[in-house]
C-alpha cells in the first residue's frame, strides 16, 4: 500500500474515487452478532438457544439500545468472549439463517422517528462506534445547531460513499431529512472529496434540502473528526473536550445517514450492509452487499479469495484501522472496509534507529513531534511523553507511513498512552 505521497500535514492521494462496478451479494448461511455493537455496555439477551427469530425481532436490549435480528433464523449458540475490533470482549449470538436472498424487509418500529431510531439500534461511527441516540443526547446538552455529514472515506474504503451518492440518492435524501428532524438543526453541511463534484445528484440534494456542500482536497487523514472541524470551522478541539461542546456541531457519517434513510423509508437498517473489500491493492476492490453478522470468511470465499495466502485482515482503513485475529470475525454495523494483506506483501518492522530526518514532524496533521514521542516512550520517560502532547495524537499513522526506517511510531504512542492511563489509575 504505497499509493499515498508525502504532503505537509498529512498524506496526499491522487487517484480518482470511483466505485467498483461489481457489487456482489452474499446472503450469509449464519450470522454472529456481538452483544456490543458500539462502545456502550453489553446488551442483555432476550432470546435463548434454540429460539426462532424473525427479521426485525428484538434479540437483545439495554438502556436505550436494542439489537434486532436482521434475518429470519434460529439461535444456534451463545458465544462467550468474542473480541471486538475496538479492543474489548463480549458475548455474541449465533443465528442460522433461513433465508436465501437479501431483499429489503419492512420495519416500522413502535413509535415516532426517535423511538424507531433507538429500536433499530442505529449507530454512528467516527473514531469509535457510538449509538446515534447517545450522540443526540450529547448534542442536546451542548446546544448543537449544525450537523456536518462526513462523506469523506478513509482513503481505501473508497467506493462505497460514491456508490451511495450515485446509486442510492433517494435513501440519502430521506436520511438527511431525518437527521435534521431528530437533531432539530437548520444547518447541515455535507463534506465530500473534490472528485464528487462530477456527481449531479449531489447538487440536487443541495437544492432540494437546502444544505451546504463543501468539497475538500483529498488528503489523509482529512476524514478524522478533529481535522474536519479544523478545516471547515477553523476550530481546534482541546484535550478532554468534545466537538459538540467546543463547536456546537455534531459530525455524522454518510453511512449513518444511509441507514437512517433506510429506516425512514420503512425498511430494516443494516439488513443490507455494503462493505468494500480491498484485495491488497486499492485498484482491486469489490463492493459486497450482505447483512451485519455475516462472517468475513464466508464473504472472502464467495469472492474466490484464497484465505491461505492472506496474512492479515485490517478493517476500517489500512492505515488507522484494526487488524483482526480471525477470519471468522463478523461484519459489524460500523464496518466499512476489509483490507486484505497477502503473505508475500507483509512488511516486518525490524529494530531501527531514528535518523532524525524530520519527515514525521512535517507530515503530522496534529503538529506533534512523533520522533520525540516514540523516543521518550521507548525509554519510558513518561513526563516528557506528556509534555510533547501524546494525548493529542489521533493515531492516524502518517508518521510511520513516511518514516524511511520504518519505526512503528503509533504503536509506541499507543503503548505510552496505555502506560499513562495505568499510572493515573494507580494514583
Summarize as ranges the residues that interact with ligand SF4 (CB under 6 A).
354-360, 364-366, 368, 370-371, 373, 393-399, 402-405, 407, 409-410, 413
For 354-391, b where at least 16 C-beta lie within 10 A, e where not — what string?
beeeebbbebbbbebbbbbbbbbbeeeeeeebeebebe
* Bridge partners, 65 (sequence order): 62
The strands making up 310-315's β-sheet, listed across from edge to edge, are 23-25, 285-290, 273-278, 337-342, 310-315, 322-324
Please, which residue, 329 or 339, has the CB nearer to ligand SF4? 339
- Per the listing, cell 452483544 goes with 35
Q: What is the DSSP letter of 85?
A: T
Check: CB of residue 322 under 8 Å from CB of residue 314.
yes
CB of 352 to ligand SF4, least distance (A): 8
Report residue 106 as a C-alpha cell: 419492512
CB of 377 to ligand SF4, least distance (A): 11
CB of 350 to ligand SF4, least distance (A): 14
Residues listed for the chain: 427
Please, which residue, 216 or 394, has the CB nearer to ligand SF4? 394
Q: How far apart are CA 11 and CA 95, in angstroms?
A: 42
Q: How far apart are CA 152 and CA 252, in angstroms?
A: 11
* Bridge partners, 82 (sequence order): 90
Check: CB of residue 275 under 8 Å from CB of residue 295.
no
Q: What is the DSSP letter of 111?
A: S
Report residue 309 as a C-alpha cell: 495466502
Report residue 202 as a C-alpha cell: 449531489
Please, which residue, 50 or 240, has the CB nearer to ligand SF4? 240
Please, which residue, 364 or 385, has the CB nearer to ligand SF4? 364
Please, which residue, 34 or 410, has the CB nearer to ligand SF4? 410
Please, which residue, 208 or 357, has the CB nearer to ligand SF4? 357
Q: Which of 322, 329, 268, 276 is nearest to 103 (CA)?
A: 268
CB of 20 to ligand SF4, least distance (A): 29
Q: How far apart are CA 311 and CA 374, in angstroms?
A: 27
CB of 183 to ligand SF4, least distance (A): 29
CB of 74 to ligand SF4, least distance (A): 45
The strands making up 5-7's β-sheet, listed across from edge to edge, are 5-7, 10-12, 219-220
Please, which residue, 193 or 220, has the CB nearer to ligand SF4? 220
Please, which residue, 307 or 405, has the CB nearer to ligand SF4? 405
Please, which residue, 112 or 404, has the CB nearer to ligand SF4? 404
Q: Which of 103, 91, 46, 93 is nearest to 73 (CA)?
A: 93
CB of 416 to ligand SF4, least distance (A): 11
CB of 360 to ligand SF4, least distance (A): 3
Please, which residue, 112 or 358, has the CB nearer to ligand SF4? 358
Check: CB of residue 40 under 8 Å from CB of residue 62.
yes
CB of 386 to ligand SF4, least distance (A): 14
CB of 219 to ligand SF4, least distance (A): 13
CB of 383 to ligand SF4, least distance (A): 18
Q: How far apart are CA 162 and CA 168, in angstroms?
A: 9
What Å distances lie between residue 204 and 19, 153, 166, 210, CA to CA? Answer: 20, 21, 12, 10
- Per the listing, cell 498512552 goes with 417
Please, which residue, 344 or 350, has the CB nearer to ligand SF4? 350
Amino acid at each position: 500500500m504505497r499509493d499515498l505521497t508525502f504532503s505537509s500535514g498529512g498524506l496526499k492521494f491522487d487517484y480518482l474515487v470511483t466505485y467498483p462496478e461489481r457489487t456482489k451479494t452474499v446472503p450469509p448461511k449464519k450470522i454472529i452478532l456481538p452483544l456490543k455493537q458500539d462502545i456502550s455496555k453489553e446488551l442483555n439477551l432476550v432470546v435463548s438457544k434454540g429460539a426462532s427469530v424473525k427479521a426485525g425481532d428484538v434479540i437483545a436490549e439495554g438502556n436505550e439500545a436494542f439489537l434486532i435480528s436482521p434475518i429470519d433464523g434460529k439461535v444456534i449458540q451463545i458465544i462467550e468472549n468474542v473480541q471486538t475490533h475496538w479492543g474489548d470482549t463480549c458475548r455474541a449470538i449465533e443465528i442460522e439463517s433461513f433465508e436465501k436472498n437479501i431483499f429489503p424487509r419492512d420495519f416500522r418500529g413502535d413509535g415516532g422517528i426517535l423511538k424507531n431510531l433507538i429500536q433499530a439500534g442505529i449507530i454512528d461511527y467516527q473514531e469509535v462506534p457510538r449509538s446515534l441516540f447517545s450522540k443526540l443526547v450529547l448534542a442536546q446538552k451542548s446546544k448543537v445547531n449544525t450537523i456536518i455529514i462526513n462523506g469523506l472515506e478513509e482513503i481505501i474504503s473508497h467506493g462505497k460513499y460514491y456508490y451511495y451518492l450515485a446509486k442510492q440518492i433517494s435513501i440519502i435524501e430521506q436520511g438527511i431529512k431525518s437527521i435534521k428532524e431528530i437533531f432539530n438543526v437548520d444547518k447541515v453541511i455535507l463534506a465530500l472529496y473534490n472528485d464528487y463534484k462530477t456527481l449531479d445528484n449531489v447538487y440536487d440534494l443541495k437544492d432540494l434540502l437546502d444544505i451546504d456542500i463543501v468539497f475538500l482536497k483529498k488528503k489523509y487523514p482529512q476524514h478524522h473528526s478533529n481535522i474536519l472541524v479544523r478545516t471547515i470551522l477553523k476550530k481546534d478541539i482541546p484535550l478532554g473536550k468534545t466537538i459538540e461542546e467546543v463547536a456546537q456541531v455534531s459530525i455524522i457519517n454518510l453511512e449513518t445517514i444511509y441507514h437512517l434513510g433506510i429506516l425512514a423509508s420503512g425498511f430494516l437498517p443494516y439488513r443490507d450492509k455494503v462493505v468494500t473489500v480491498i484485495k491488497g491493492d486499492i485498484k482491486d476492490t469489490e463492493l459486497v452487499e450482505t447483512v451485519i453478522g455475516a462472517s468475513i470468511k464466508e464473504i472472502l470465499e464467495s469472492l474466490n479469495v484464497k484465505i491461505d495466502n492472506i496474512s492479515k485482515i485490517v478493517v476500517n482503513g489500512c492505515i488507522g484501522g484494526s487488524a483482526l485475529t480471525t477470519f471468522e470475525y463478523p461484519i459489524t454495523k460500523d464496518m466499512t472496509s476489509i483490507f486484505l494483506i497477502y503473505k508475500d506483501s507483509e512488511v516486518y518492522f525490524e529494530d531501527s534507529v531514528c535518523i532524525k530526518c524530520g519527515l514525521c514532524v512535517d507530515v503530522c496533521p496534529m503538529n506533534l513531534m512523533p520522533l520525540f514521542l516514540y523516543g521518550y516512550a521507548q525509554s519510558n520517560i513518561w513526563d516528557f511523553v506528556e509534555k510533547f502532547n501524546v494525548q493529542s495524537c489521533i493515531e492516524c499513522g502518517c508518521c510511520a507511513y513516511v518514516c524511511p526506517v520504518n519505526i512503528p511510531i503509533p504503536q509506541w504512542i499507543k503503548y505510552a498512552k496505555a502506560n499513562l492511563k495505568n499510572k493515573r489509575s494507580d494514583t
